[in-house]
Structure 1
């Protein structure tokens, strides 16, 4: 049993279940309904068939800006990449199969000024992309394996993270399954308080939140302070193998451990379901430091990108003449 503030919490145990080993089964971000909402219908599917059976798929979004035709990850879509039906046999046979199918998928991708995707973390190489002229780079996320016990996960937290979770648990009440309307209103209010706009798009985020809750493919957790005031909230989504930390928001005066407490609650829910908990990447040193406190395993995710000469030149000029701005590969 795990204790916080001398309160005994249940260990999140479920009957033993071993996930079926697959090289790259579809994630929630590959789901048709997810892509329909995230791209507002503007996506396509490269497909390879053999004897009438689909043996490879790769979805991609398309967007036209004033200057460019680009294919990047849609809003709130963390990873994509090819999904390939496995074959039996030697490692050499498997590699040949993966290179062949992935190559045929790549050949179906459109000509555009900029292409960028982050691959599902279960895809451990991007050789086929490299052989087709793509740049391959490493990105990272933190993951807690599905077969970790709650006690083990608690012990792996660093002392600072454990302390802020303990402190937050004394002051806040975690409520599962708050409504999408409450979550979105809270998220919007916190953006307004900071004079910011929704980077994902108001309509896309609202529709995705409603969809994953309605489909029971995600949940919204809220932390309430004195007087029943919502002070922090997170959105978690899952597929058959992992639960992902997707969204979060907190009031400016919220307890400093409010998000940590909600994430710890989410970790427990994931382990109870025998799902890997994926912190879903980080984009800054401060976020790395925060997530690193949870003692999860640093896991590589591969990025693949290919850009036209003029696009690359313009991006280089922006980097040179707009000091202080960070340009990610998907800009």
Structure 2
């Protein structure tokens, strides 16, 4: 990429030839709906509901189920950005296509098992949630950020903020980037990032290692690490991908070493690598203002996505009592 090469040593983060993974007729809209992904993040806890027509799947929706203290939870697994439905594109006029889509989505909604609490983030390509609204679900909008076209890396680089390009060049003078399946370094860095807020990562080292290994074995993910010439670890980042989209899934950095701008360099390297294996780069977005500002600085475009929620009558009553007691106590 022009103007992005510095004097710092770089490693082999070169992309492998594109491996076909996800075709237009496959019932998935992201890597997170793949069977192997769900087997990794929610072993024995998920099932997939399907709508077929003429022997072909026309709609599909995986669900992850858990029980906690007798409460039935249908929630997102850890480190899984989206689930929700995949829907085939019907043929015909626009009214015909919309009618078919609503029919298939309504059938999917009818298949969801009983629950006390339901929550799923949908892929931004699916915006029609009306059949779920008509069944009592609620929705809200969140935002992810994407680079929609990775084919022209020169254009991607030009769209970075000037300060971001400067940060990348600065880090290239002193930081060595490596890539592989170093889940331990990734967990160390994410623990440091959470630690500065007095928190711990919402996943265990074992969980993260299992996910990293599953992705790496399938040529669907790798960990990027940034170290200085003395071997000090500055930052780490996990990238996962299919042929459509590469996802910046999780990262962390050493708070005392952030002046090196290593995270900006890692993100840049991940984007360059992603251009060889995917078409789009998804930053996932964040409601945390500094994180949102950071990912936006790479020239990313916002994409709204739906978060769908549902509550059983039992849970609604329990929440009502809880809110009442809180108001009384206040």
| Cα separation, 2, equivalents of 1:113 and 1:54 | 28
The CA deviation at 1:62 is 0.8
Corresponding residue of 1:99: 102
Corresponding residue of 1:305: 309
Q: Give the 3 Å change call, closer, same or farther, for CA 304–23 of structure 1 in structure 2.
A: farther
| Cα separation, 2, equivalents of 1:37 and 1:272 | 25
The C-alpha deviation readout for 1:46-84, integer Å capped at 9, x for no partner, is 122223332221101111111521111111111011122
2:261 aligned with 1:249, yes or no? no
Please, which of 21, 26, 29 is the counterpart of residue 29 of structure 2?
26
| Cα separation, 2, equivalents of 1:236 and 1:274 | 11
TM-score, normalised by the number of residues in structure 2: 0.85
The CA deviation at 1:92 is 1.4
| Cα separation, 1, equivalents of 2:177 and 2:262 | 9
| Cα separation, 2, equivalents of 1:282 and 1:70 | 24
2:290 aligned with 1:292, yes or no? no
Q: Is the 8 A contact 2:66 2:72 kept in 1?
A: yes
Q: Is the 8 A contact 1:86 1:94 kept in 2?
A: yes
Q: Is the 8 A contact 1:60 1:71 kept in 2?
A: yes
Q: Give the 3 Å change call, closer, same or farther, for CA 236–321 of structure 1 in structure 2.
A: farther
The C-alpha deviation readout for 1:254-305, integer Å capped at 9, x for no partner, is 2342111101111111223342000012131222122121111111111111
Please, which of 38, 60, 72 is the counterpart of residue 63 of structure 2?
60
The CA deviation at 1:21 is 6.3
Q: Is the 8 A contact 1:174 1:262 kept in 2?
A: yes
Corresponding residue of 1:47: 50
Corresponding residue of 1:149: 152
Q: Give the 3 Å change call, closer, same or farther, for CA 278–42 of structure 1 in structure 2.
A: same
Please, which of 196, 216, 220 is the counterpart of residue 219 of structure 2?
216
Bigger CA drift: 308-317 or 166-175? 308-317
| Cα separation, 2, equivalents of 1:20 and 1:319 | 51
The CA deviation at 1:243 is 0.2
The C-alpha deviation readout for 1:111-155, integer Å capped at 9, x for no partner, is 111111111111133222222221122110110012452221122
The CA deviation at 1:202 is 3.2
| Cα separation, 2, equivalents of 1:24 and 1:143 | 22
Gapped regions of structure 2 (runs ≥ 5): none
| Cα separation, 2, equivalents of 1:48 and 1:189 | 44
2:271 aligned with 1:267, yes or no? yes
SS at match of 1:301: strand
The CA deviation at 1:192 is 6.9
Instruction: Give the length in aligned residue pairs.
Output: 318
Q: Is the 8 A contact 1:61 1:74 kept in 2?
A: yes
| Cα separation, 2, equivalents of 1:187 and 1:319 | 38
SS at match of 1:128: helix
Gapped regions of structure 1 (runs ≥ 5): 323-331
